[in-house]
């Protein structure tokens, strides 16, 4: 999807939002160069892996392009991971730079999925309440689309490698779980929580996602949701 107008509703008319399979290899490479140089100099992921992450299951990937410069000012790679991959991440057995295709989960009808915030990069001037509302609206809308097929978000996991990631973790009402350790000795804070649509209550789209997650079928389905952190601790 290429949407040149939605960001204007949040006070950013200069931004085009690109998502899903509209994120071309060329756009992915621009994002890679932005992230590698500015944010991830000590935990690199090669370019092809970066492109693969954007295109493997792109339902929750978003790029914010400046209309005048045709360059990204920020992007988010949010991946659906299997229950097993989430719990192995909690146990320090996998990291954002060691994920494999088998750790990803295709979002099929009538099933749960988990969302892992793999990479979040945003220039400082765009780390605003307006951008947060835009991002959350995009995420909520993608969730609503999947809920039409009775696919529901079960768990959210965020690796607080950067301060900005920790801000996102707080905004999404996730809680600190444990210290995550990378192979190169770098440590980060890991945050997670069973998904609660109430985190979007300040958005205009809230009534729609509330209905999607609060109808009779959804409520019966969601009774089977799992707290993967508790599951992880139980099986440790």
Per-residue HEC secondary structure of the chain comes to CEECCHHHHHCCCCEEEEEHHHCCHHHHHHHHHHHHHHCCCCCCCCHHHHHHHHHHCHHHCEEEEECCCCCEEEEEEEEEECHHHHHHHHCCCCCCCCCCHHHECCCCCCCEEEEEEEEEEECHHHCCHHHHHHHHHHHHHHHHHHHCCCCEEEEEEEEECCHHHHHHHHHCCCEEEEEEECCCCCEEEEEEEECCHHHHCCCCCHHHHHHHHHCHHHHHHHCCCCCHHHHHHHCC
Average confidence (pLDDT) over 90-103: 89
The 10s digit of each residue's pLDDT in 46-56 is 788 888 888 88
pLDDT at residue 147 tops 60: yes
Q: ∠ at Cα 79 (74, 81), nearest 5°? A: 160
pLDDT of 183 strictly over 80? no
Structure tokens at 66: 């400046």
| The predicted structure's pLDDT at residue 35 | 66
Alpha-carbon gap, residue 118 to 20, rounded angstroms? 15
Instruction: Give the pLDDT score at 164.
Output: 80
119-138 confidence digits (pLDDT tens): 888 998 999 999 999 999 99
Question: Looking at residue 40, what is its pLDDT?
Answer: 46
CATH class in words for 2-234? alpha beta
In percent, how much of the chain has pLDDT > 90? 66
- Reported pTM: 0.92
**For range 31-48, the mean pLDDT:** 66
Structure-block tokens of residue 138: 């995009």
- pLDDT tens digits for 72-94? 999 999 999 999 999 999 999 99
Question: Lowest-pLDDT range, 61-70, 156-165, 201-210, 218-227?
Answer: 156-165
Average pLDDT over residues 205-233: 92
Average pLDDT over residues 22-33: 91
Residue 36 has pLDDT above 80, yes or no: no
Look at residue 17 in the predicted model and tell me its pLDDT: 97
Mean per-residue pLDDT, 147-167:
89
Q: Give the model's confidence band at 39: pLDDT under 50 very low, under 70 low, under 90 confident, else very high.
A: very low
Q: Determine the pLDDT at residue 3.
A: 93
Give residue limits of the domains in the chain.
Answer: 2-234
Predicted pLDDT at 111: 94
Phi (first) and psi of residue 91, to 5 degrees: -95, 10
CB 16 within 8 A of CB 3: yes
Q: Which of 85, 106, 102 is nearest to 94 (CA)?
A: 85
């Amino acid at each position: 999807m290429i949407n040149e107008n939605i960001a204007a509703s949040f006070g950013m008319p200069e931004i085009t939002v690109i998502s899903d399979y509209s994120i071309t290899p060329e756009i992915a490479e621009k994002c890679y160069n932005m992230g590698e140089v500015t944010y991830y100099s000590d935990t690199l992921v090669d370019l092809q892996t970066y492109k693969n992450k954007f295109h493997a299951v792109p339902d929750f990937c978003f790029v914010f392009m400046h209309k005048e410069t045709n360059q990204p000012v920020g992007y988010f790679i949010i991946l659906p991971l299997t229950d097993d991959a989430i719990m192995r991440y909690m146990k320090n057995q996998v990291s954002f730079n060691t994920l494999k295709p088998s750790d990803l989960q295709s979002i099929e009808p009538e099933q749960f999925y988990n969302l892992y915030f793999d990479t979040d990069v945003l220039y400082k001037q765009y780390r605003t309440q307006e951008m947060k509302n835009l991002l959350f609206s995009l995420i909520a809308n993608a969730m609503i689309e999947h809920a039409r097929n009775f696919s529901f978000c079960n768990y959210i996991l965020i690796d607080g490698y950067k301060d900005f990631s920790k801000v996102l973790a707080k905004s999404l009402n996730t809680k600190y779980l444990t210290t995550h350790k990378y192979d190169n000795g770098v440590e980060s804070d890991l945050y997670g929580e069973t998904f609660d649509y109430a985190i979007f209550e300040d958005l205009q789209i809230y009534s729609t996602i509330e209905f999607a997650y609060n109808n009779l079928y959804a409520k019966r389905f969601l009774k089977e949701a799992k707290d993967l952190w508790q599951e992880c601790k139980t099986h440790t």
